[in-house]
Amino acid sequence: MIDKNKLDSLFKEAQTAALKAYAPYSHFRVGAALLCEDGTIVTGVNVENRSYGLTVCAERNTICSAVGRGLLKFSALAISTPDSVEPVGPCGACRQVMGEFMGPEAPVRFAGSGEKTVDTTVGELLPLDSLHELKK
C-alpha cells in the first residue's frame, strides 16, 4: 500500500499531464500518472481523433507507454479531469486494462477541478475480475 503523500504527489503528476492532452473535439482533457513498482512514474494523456472510436484514453496511453518501456508491475494510478468539477472515473475499457496489469488492491485516485476526490482500488472499480478470480 502506498501512503497518502505518495498518492498526492502522483495525482499532481496527473494534473500536470492533463494540460498536455489533445482534446480539440470534446475539450475534455484527461491526464494519468502511473506509479511503477520500481518507483518510476509514467504519465499520459487522452488523444482524440475526429473519429471518436479512434480516441485513446489517458489511462490506457499511460499503461501502454509503461509497457513499451519494459515496465510491467504497477502500484497505483492517478487520474485528473480538470475540465469537470466532479471526479470522472475510468471507462470500462480502461478498467479492463488496469485489471490486466494491476492487482485488485492497487490504489486509484481520480478527481476533477473541484474539491471532491475519489480514492478507490482496481478491485472496487472492476469487481469479480475473471483474470484474478482464475488465479485463485
Residue 14 has pLDDT above 70, yes or no: yes
Domain residue spans of the chain: 4-135
Q: What CATH homologous superfamily does 4-135 map to? A: Cytidine Deaminase, domain 2 (3.40.140.10)
Question: Which residue, among 18, 22, 20, 69, has the nearest Cα to 42 in the 3D structure?
Answer: 69
Active-site annotation holds for 59: yes
Percent of the chain residues topping a pLDDT of 90: 90
Cα R_g (the chain), whole angstroms: 14
CA dist 122 and 109 (Å) reads: 10
Catalytic, out of 13, 37, 59, 115: 59
Backbone angles phi, psi at 107, to 5 degrees: -70, 145
pLDDT at 115: 96
pTM attached to this predicted model:
0.94
The 10s digit of each residue's pLDDT in 72-128 is 999 999 999 999 999 999 999 999 999 999 999 999 999 999 999 999 999 999 998
**Quick one: cell of 130?**
475473471
Q: 24-40 burial string, b = 16+ CB within 10 Å, else e?
A: eeeeebbbbbbbbeeee
pLDDT at 134: 63
